């Protein structure tokens, strides 16, 4: 493991620990310090129940919950014709690609699933645009359905490794293996929350929030970020769930991954493997402000 990998993994593990700790502390009361968010109105209606199938909307529709006329589409991956190697890498920059394949593009979706390698070990899979596509500011969105089970840690994030700096925006990270006492999942190890976190640099936290949700493995949901020069606003199914005044100006690339560990624990014999337990991504889109 390289120093770079140690730094990045340590940073993301710290993210989950910090968010979980803050969430548990916040359970005693609300107010400005509350870092949890539940998508329910005063009538008890829970927003964003999701769909068992992905939406059929096209990239021309604009970001969910936004005025489409305010945006220009700059990136659209609909996964209609395989994984485009001219746009995507299937490994993170400091590691070789895993020898066992645990992803595919079919039915108009990218699917990444838990799998063991030839030695019987679970392995991380990262799909990213490092060296191929970057953007500063704008709106970033995926529609996805998440896996279940001990250890599973799917994510959608923006990142860059610039000299020794590591700016990072975690739009969605979920930890199904934590169990009901963790705040991240239910007794069946289905994800019922996700985290949104801002890192100005490694170990320099710019804000975070745990968002309580319906079962994220039961249907497709939209995870979005409006990134402005001095503010970041996170959305779930078009509904604002977290906003932070923060200044970040580095170009970043797109990352989708299925890792293991952190608040989700380590995968084991109970973790469902194979395509039927995939992190399924229907699309990845980005827009610039007009």
Measured between its terminal Cα atoms, the distance across the chain in Å is: 43
pTM score of the predicted model: 0.86
CA-based nearest residue to 184, from 3, 21, 8, 1: 21
- In this structure, are residues 54 and 222 in contact, taking their beta carbons and an 8 Å threshold? no
Helices and strands in the chain, H and E counts:
1, 15
Per-residue pLDDT of the chain (290 residues; tens, 9 = 90+): 334 444 454 455 454 544 444 443 333 333 333 456 655 433 333 445 667 767 765 666 899 999 999 999 999 999 998 999 999 999 999 999 999 999 999 999 999 999 999 999 999 999 999 999 999 999 999 999 999 999 999 999 999 999 999 999 999 999 999 999 999 999 999 999 999 999 999 999 999 999 999 999 999 999 999 999 999 999 999 999 999 999 999 999 999 999 999 999 999 999 999 999 999 999 999 999 99
Alpha-carbon gap, residue 114 to 112, rounded angstroms: 7
Q: Which CATH number is 3-40+65-289's, of 1.40.20.10, 2.60.120.200, 3.40.50.1370, 1.10.1740.10?
A: 2.60.120.200
Angle CA(143)–CA(262)–CA(280) in degrees, nearest 5? 20
β-strand partners of 234: 225, 242
Provide CB contacts within 8 A for 266, sequence distance 6+.
150, 151, 177, 260
Max alpha carbon distance in the chain (Å)?
A: 52
List, edge to edge, every strand of the sheet that includes 253-260.
36-38, 204-212, 193-201, 168-173, 152-159, 253-260, 125-128
What does the buried/exposed string (b/e) look like for 198-223 if buried means 16 or more CB atoms within 10 Å of the residue's CB?
bbbbbeeebbbbbbbbbbbbbbbbbb
Strands 279-289 and 168-173: unpaired
- Say what the alpha-carbon torsion angle 200, 204, 207, 209 is, to the nearest 10 degrees: 110
The full set of domain ranges for the chain reads 3-40+65-289
- In this structure, are residues 202 and 11 in contact, taking their beta carbons and an 8 Å threshold? yes
């Amino acid at each position: 493991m390289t120093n770079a990998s140690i730094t990045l993994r340590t940073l993301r593990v710290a993210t989950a620990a910090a968010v979980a700790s803050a969430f548990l502390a916040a359970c005693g009361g609300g107010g400005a310090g509350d870092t949890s968010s539940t998508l329910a109105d005063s009538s008890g209606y829970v927003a964003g129940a999701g769909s068992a199938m992905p939406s059929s909307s096209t990239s021309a529709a604009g970001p969910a919950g936004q005025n489409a006329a305010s945006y220009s589409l700059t990136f659209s991956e609909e996964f209609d014709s395989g994984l485009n190697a001219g746009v995507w890498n299937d490994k993170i920059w400091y590691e070789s690609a895993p020898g066992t394949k645990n992803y595919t593009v079919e039915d108009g979706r990218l699917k990444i699933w838990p799998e063991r390698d030839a030695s019987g070990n679970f392995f991380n899979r990262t799909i990213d645009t490092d060296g191929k596509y970057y953007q500063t500011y704008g709106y970033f969105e995926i529609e996805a359905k998440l896996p279940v089970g001990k250890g599973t840690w799917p994510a959608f994030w923006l990142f860059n490794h610039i000299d020794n700096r590591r700016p990072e925006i975690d739009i969605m990270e979920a930890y199904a293996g934590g169990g009901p006492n963790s705040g991240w999942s239910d007794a069946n190890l289905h994800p019922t929350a996700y985290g949104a976190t801002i890192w100005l640099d490694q170990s320099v936290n710019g804000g975070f929030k745990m968002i309580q949700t319906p079962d994220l493995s039961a249907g497709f949901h939209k995870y979005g970020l409006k990134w402005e020069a001095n503010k970041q606003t996170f959305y779930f199914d078009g509904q604002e769930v977290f906003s932070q005044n923060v200044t970040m100006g580095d170009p970043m690339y797109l990352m989708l991954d299925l890792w293991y560990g952190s608040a989700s624990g380590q995968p084991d014999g109970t973790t469902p493997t194979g395509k039927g337990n995939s992190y399924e991504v229907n699309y990845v889109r980005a827009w610039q402000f007009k």
